[in-house]
C-alpha cells in the first residue's frame, strides 16, 4: 500500500525535514502541500517538547535513584 500524505495524496517521495529536526522523516507529497507544511512543524514542535519533558523526568529519576542509593549506602556504613 502506498504511503499517504496528511492531505491524503499518495506520497511519491519521502521528505526529510532535516532543518527542523535532523534524523526525523515525515511523509509528504511533493511539492510539500500547504496542509503538511502547516501540520508537520507543529508536530515536530510537540515531539521536541515532549522529548525535552521526558529527558527532564529521566534526569529527575536518576537524581532520586542516586539519592536513595546514597542514603542506603550511608546507612550501611553507620
Ligand atoms: Zn500533501
At 16-66, the pLDDT tens digits run 554 554 445 667 787 778 888 888 889 999 999 999 999 999 999 999 988
Higher pLDDT, 61 or 10: 61
Domain-embedded: residue 4: no
Place of cell 546507612: 75
Instruction: Examine residue 34 and state whether it is found in any structural domain, yes or no.
Output: yes
Q: 27: which strand partners?
A: 14
**Taking the model in full, what pTM does it have?**
0.52
Residue 7 counted as domain residue: no
How many angstroms is it from 62 CA to the middle of ligand 1? 42
Q: Work out the number of other CB atoms within 10 angstroms of the CB of residue 44.
A: 15
Cα 63 to ligand 1 centroid, rounded to whole Å: 44
**Is the Cβ–Cβ distance between 15 and 5 less than 8 Å?**
no
Q: How far is CA 8 from the centre of its chain?
A: 23
| Cα(29) to centroid(ligand 1), Å | 4
Rounded to the nearest whole angstrom, what is the distance from the C-alpha of residue 11 to the centroid of ligand 1? 8
| Omega of the bond leading into 31 within 30 degrees of 0 (cis) | yes
Domain count, the chain: 1
Amino acid at each position: 500500500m502506498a504511503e499517504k500524505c496528511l492531505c491524503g495524496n499518495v506520497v511519491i517521495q519521502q521528505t526529510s525535514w532535516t532543518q527542523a529536526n535532523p534524523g526525523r522523516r515525515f511523509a509528504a507529497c511533493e511539492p510539500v502541500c500547504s496542509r503538511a507544511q502547516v501540520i508537520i512543524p507543529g508536530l515536530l514542535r510537540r515531539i521536541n517538547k515532549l522529548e525535552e519533558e521526558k529527558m527532564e523526568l529521566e534526569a529527575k529519576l536518576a537524581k532520586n535513584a542516586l539519592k536513595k542509593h546514597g542514603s542506603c549506602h550511608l546507612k550501611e556504613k553507620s
